[in-house]
A and B are shown apart, each in its own frame.
Chain A
Amino acid sequence: MNRRIHMSAIALLLLSVGERVVHAQTEGTATATGISRDFNPAISLNALFLLAGFPGWSDAVDRAEGLESGARLQEAELQFSAAVDPYTSADFIFSFEDGELGIEEGYVTSNVLPHGVGLRAGQMFVPLGHENTLHTHQLPFIQRSLFGGAVFGEALSEFGAEVSWLPATPWFLELRGAAYNGDDALFDGAGDWDLAYLTGVDALWDVSEEATFSLGADYLAGPNGNGTPDDTAWSQLFSVVARYKWRSARRLRSRGYELLAEYQFAQRGAPTGTPADIARGFYALGKLQFARRWWVQGRFDLLDPSAETSTKRGAVMLAFVPSEFGALRFQTAVVDAPSDTYAELQLQYNFTLGSHPAHAY
């Protein structure tokens, strides 16, 4: 919460500085420092309007899942991106959700080091698997997976530094390592300098001109507050992703499909002899674009598949995408939770204003 308040102040400060710059330009008082719109960052706003209904709704489900029926602003994200200088670029992404303005990411990146080495430092989504790197407006479905929602709420975001390396191989291969503060609840109680460490790898091959296959794995571990000075307790997270993606070479704009599966694991360890808190998740999804403006998608989602508290969800989505900057998405899902079984109906309008960077593959 404190971070949210601080970041709200920073965002307001940024906006007020921006306003002063505009005034300076309009009043023709540009200074010798060269105030000019030419160097303004690319600015964009993503907004999500959501209409949700839950047939067979019960208070128990309401409390358990934290869902809301009715119409609302699901989230708005404000992004600033620019080169700092020839060596570094910076990105800041603020989100407005449930009446609060907070920072999702704010980092600097340097991609001009020799031998394919990249550096990133700041507040960022931890590159743990596929889903955790996505902002809400990029999610393939309206909610995150059951695991992502239960373990992180939103994405796992940490302050830290990442180093990645792209060897000059004929196929795509990226190796990465990172150290983070370990501010997430999973690492709660650890000392100020007890960091969380990540190691990961991504590889992608062109199966044909139209298809790719990729594999990725990431492991994050750091001490938590459950341990003692003599018996450190560690929290560990693990993710493995496999993805196959096809897009018609001759009909790039209107025909494509994707199959993706991700296994997720989180353990908040305890001292020797005490059972650890463990969560496991798995989801598999398919997306099919069958016309220029139309997509149909499905996802099967599991949380703690082997436990008595297992939750399952099946979701189907139909998306109408009139342009690259707006999409109307209808999703229906059936959730089989320990407390209840219920259905979800949701309609989302997802749109972008301004100069928004292209999304990763």
Chain B
Amino acid sequence: MRQTWSSRFACVLACLVCVAIAPQRAGAKLRVIATTSDVAAVLEAVGGERIDLTTLAKGYMNPHYLEAKPSYVAKLRRADALAYNGLQLEIGWLPLILEGARNRKIVVGAAGHVQMSRGLEILEIPEGAVTREMGDIHPEGNPHYTLDPRNVVRMARTAEEVLSQIDPDGAATYAKNRAAFASDMQTAIARWEERMRPYRGGEVVCYHKQWEYLLHWLGIEPVAYVESKPGIPASPRHLEQLARMMKERRIPVLLASSFDGNIEHLNRLAAGAGTRVLVLPAAVGGEEGLETPLAYFDFIVDTLAQAFQGAGAP
């Protein structure tokens, strides 16, 4: 019996060794991990059929607060590339799983380690000392840059460069996919800008410092936040002042995302001021049917335009 168990153990161990050291079969798809659904959407558009894509934070998950699940470590262990948002959006979990994965293809400095924010204009980089007294502040700047569709087009260029470097045989495909994606997006961006043109210069209140890139692109100003500091729930006094300000300035829209606080609470806050609460999906895939950047921004722009129009804005 003892020999039987020893033999079984040896067989299992031998199988694991084979799995661990077996070379990847020729012609296999690139295994790419995207930390967020926005990053994944760009990679999917550029990589197409040549990549096997896994998304860690789905569009309905708050990427700040994912946990470093060992199952993510197992995914990263077998990856050819890791593409992430960066600017410390994933600081609470990505370093742990990246270190745990022990994968030389995706460690910092490797070709497969891709921070998608590179080359982009980053907003709200703090000046001077940064302390936790300021709330959940990001020392490298606001990380929600994927909410500007022009950045999404630039990210596609990064995706093409990286995928072509790792998989030179697919370079022509990646270039073709990127060009088609960029063309579709540029056409749509012109349409979205036209749709929102009447509302440039408008004012909104936001729950969290999440929508800066979207509003910056559309020329709309976020004049206040429900959170008293980033990531810190508001005090009753702050809410009282906010409600008064929204009423005085006739703020048409309060922007929140689906994982921001208690929506009923926001509705009560806004009701007295005549402000409409818009709860928008924070990322591609945040709601069913919004699985591509085109569909996502179509929905966001359309919903915003309707809200401004309904509020009597020009």
Residue ranges of A at the interface with B (Cβ–Cβ < 8 Å): 86, 89, 109, 111-118, 165-175, 202, 204-206, 209, 212, 214, 247, 249-253, 292-293, 323-325, 357-358, 360-361
Q: Is the CB of A204 within 8 A of B71?
A: yes
Given A170-B74, A292-B233, A358-B20 contact (CB < 8 Å): no
Nearest residue in B to A114 (C-beta to C-beta)?
B104
Q: What are 10 A-B residue pairs whose CB atoms fall within 8 Å in the complex?
A: A111-B100, A116-B102, A166-B101, A167-B20, A168-B20, A204-B69, A252-B65, A293-B233, A324-B92, A357-B96
Q: Is the CB of A172 within 8 A of B70?
A: yes
Nearest residue in B to A170 (C-beta to C-beta)?
B74
Select one of A115, A214, A324, A358 contacting B68, CB under 8 A. Answer: A358
Is B246 interfacial (CB 8 A cutoff)? Answer: no
Q: Is the CB of A205 within 8 A of B71?
A: yes
Nearest 6 Cβ contacts at the A-B interface: A172-B70, A252-B65, A172-B74, A167-B16, A111-B102, A204-B70
Residues in B with CB closer than 8 Å to A209 are 58
Q: Is the CB of B259 within 8 A of A361?
A: no
Given A111-B102, A253-B62, A253-B65, A168-B78 contact (CB < 8 Å): yes
Q: Is the CB of A166 within 8 A of B102?
A: yes
Residues in A with CB closer than 8 Å to B69 are 204, 206, 212, 361
Is B132 interfacial (CB 8 A cutoff)? Answer: yes
Q: Is the CB of A111 within 8 A of B99?
A: yes
Chain B, interface size: which category?
Answer: 35 or more
Residues in A with CB closer than 8 Å to B17 are 167
Beyond the given pairs A114-B104, A116-B102, A360-B96, 11 more chain A to chain B contacts, judged by CB atoms under 8 angstroms and listed by A's residue number, are: A166-B77, A168-B20, A172-B71, A250-B259, A252-B61, A253-B64, A253-B65, A357-B95, A357-B96, A360-B68, A361-B70
Given A115-B21, A250-B259, A253-B62, A171-B107 contact (CB < 8 Å): no
Is B199 interfacial (CB 8 A cutoff)? Answer: no
Smallest distance from the beta carbon of B69 to chain A beta carbons, Å? 5
Smallest distance from the beta carbon of A44 to chain B beta carbons, Å? 12
Nearest residue in B to A325 (C-beta to C-beta)?
B132
Residues in B with CB closer than 8 Å to A169 are 16, 19, 74
Is B66 interfacial (CB 8 A cutoff)? Answer: yes
Complex Cα–Cα for A325 and B102 (A): 28
Q: Is the CB of B70 within 8 A of A167?
A: no
Smallest distance from the beta carbon of B294 to chain A beta carbons, Å? 24
Residue ranges of B at the interface with A (Cβ–Cβ < 8 Å): 16-17, 19-21, 58, 60-62, 64-71, 73-74, 77-78, 91-93, 95-96, 99-104, 107, 109, 132, 136, 231-233, 258-259
Complex Cα–Cα for A293 and B233 (A): 10
Select one of A86, A109, A111, A166 contacting B109, CB under 8 A. Answer: A86
Residues in A with CB closer than 8 Å to B68 are 358, 360-361
Smallest distance from the beta carbon of B293 to chain A beta carbons, Å? 21
Residues in B with CB closer than 8 Å to A212 are 69-71
Q: Is the CB of A112 within 8 A of B104?
A: yes
Nearest residue in B to A293 (C-beta to C-beta)?
B233
Q: Is the CB of B67 within 8 A of A361?
A: yes
Query: How many residue pairs bridge A and B at CB < 8 Å?
Result: 104
Smallest distance from the beta carbon of A325 to chain B beta carbons, Å? 6
Complex Cα–Cα for A252 and B96 (A): 18
Q: Is the CB of A358 within 8 A of B92?
A: yes
Residues in A with CB closer than 8 Å to B96 are 357-358, 360-361
Q: Is the CB of A171 within 8 A of B74?
A: yes
Select one of A112, A168, A214, A250 contacting B61, CB under 8 A. Answer: A250
Complex Cα–Cα for A291 and B17 (A): 45
Complex Cα–Cα for A114 and B107 (A): 12
Smallest distance from the beta carbon of A80 to chain B beta carbons, Å? 16
Smallest distance from the beta carbon of A225 to chain B beta carbons, Å? 31
Residues in B with CB closer than 8 Å to A205 are 71
Complex Cα–Cα for A358 and B232 (A): 19
Nearest residue in B to A291 (C-beta to C-beta)?
B262
Residues in B with CB closer than 8 Å to A168 are 19-20, 77-78
Residues in B with CB closer than 8 Å to A170 are 74
Complex Cα–Cα for A111 and B106 (A): 12
Nearest residue in B to A83 (C-beta to C-beta)?
B108
Q: Is the CB of A252 within 8 A of B232?
A: no
Nearest residue in A to B16 (C-beta to C-beta)?
A167
Smallest distance from the beta carbon of B241 to chain A beta carbons, Å? 21
Residues in A with CB closer than 8 Å to B233 are 292-293
Residues in B with CB closer than 8 Å to A171 are 71, 74
Complex Cα–Cα for A250 and B281 (A): 11
Complex Cα–Cα for A310 and B71 (A): 38
Smallest distance from the beta carbon of B90 to chain A beta carbons, Å? 10
Select one of A118, A204, A253 contacting B259, CB under 8 A. Answer: A253
Nearest residue in A to B71 (C-beta to C-beta)?
A206
Smallest distance from the beta carbon of A296 to chain B beta carbons, Å? 19
Given A168-B19, A357-B95, A358-B96, A323-B232 contact (CB < 8 Å): yes
Select one of A172, A252, A325, A358 contacting B62, CB under 8 A. Answer: A252
Residues in B with CB closer than 8 Å to A165 are 20
Q: Is the CB of B66 within 8 A of A252?
A: yes
Residues in B with CB closer than 8 Å to A252 are 61-62, 65-67, 259
Q: Is the CB of A249 within 8 A of B74?
A: no
Residues in A with CB closer than 8 Å to B259 are 250-253
Residues in B with CB closer than 8 Å to A115 are 20-21
Complex Cα–Cα for A206 and B109 (A): 30
Complex Cα–Cα for A115 and B96 (A): 19
Nearest residue in A to B95 (C-beta to C-beta)?
A358
Smallest distance from the beta carbon of B104 to chain A beta carbons, Å? 6
Nearest residue in A to B93 (C-beta to C-beta)?
A358
Complex Cα–Cα for A77 and B13 (A): 40
Residues in A with CB closer than 8 Å to B19 are 167-169
Residues in B with CB closer than 8 Å to A109 are 99
